[in-house]
Amino acid sequence: MIQLDELFIDCSCDTLKQLTERIEDCLTRLTPEQVWARSGKSDNSIANLVLHLCGNVTQWIGSGIGGLPDNRRRDEEFAARGGLKPEDLAEKLHAVVEDAIPIIREQTAEHLAEIIQPQGYTVSVLEAIYHVVEHFAQHTGQIMFATKMILDQDLGYYKHLSA
């Protein structure tokens, strides 16, 4: 019988991988101009959201749980206005998630209850993983929505549900 901690860890890792694949797919459909486009001065580009996800995962999982140095410069994630092509962004995101997965997978039931302080928040390891997955999902939804708007096409992720 699978234990609840194992189920949580498997679900978290599988969800991060699936969401990463969706973002990578969106990035392959877009030009550099499209990934860096902003509709207004207070909006973020798709590229900024990808950089932000990389920073969040690295800070909360790599540093917060894995004990790696916290070198995040969050403001730079949003200030960037170019420089990386869609394939570079996809590669960067993929690498960050691939680095985070083993850290998540090595957590035990006991460790999931330990208290850590990523980004100045006091949370359990379980809460930190949950935060990263839900945060990743929110921005994946934004990236998918923006991609659909830019391309004026369905992305086809749920075509198997159509009659």
| Cα gap 16→10, rounded to integer Å | 10
Q: Would you state the structure tokens that stand for residue 31, as one six-digit string?
A: 């030009």
pLDDT at residue 47, rounded to an integer: 98
- Comparing CA positions, the residue from 140, 117, 146 lying closest to residue 34 is 146
Q: Regarding the domain with residue range 4-154, which homologous superfamily does it belong to in the CATH classification?
A: dinb family like domain (1.20.120.450)
- How would you write the pLDDT of the chain (163 residues) with one tens digit per residue? 779 999 999 999 999 999 999 999 999 999 999 999 998 888 899 999 999 999 999 999 999 999 999 999 998 999 899 999 999 999 999 999 999 999 999 999 999 999 999 999 999 999 999 999 999 999 999 999 999 999 999 999 998 898 7
pLDDT at residue 40, rounded to an integer: 86
Q: Compute how many other C-beta atoms are within 10 angstroms of the C-beta atom of residue 75.
A: 9
Domain positions in the chain? 4-154
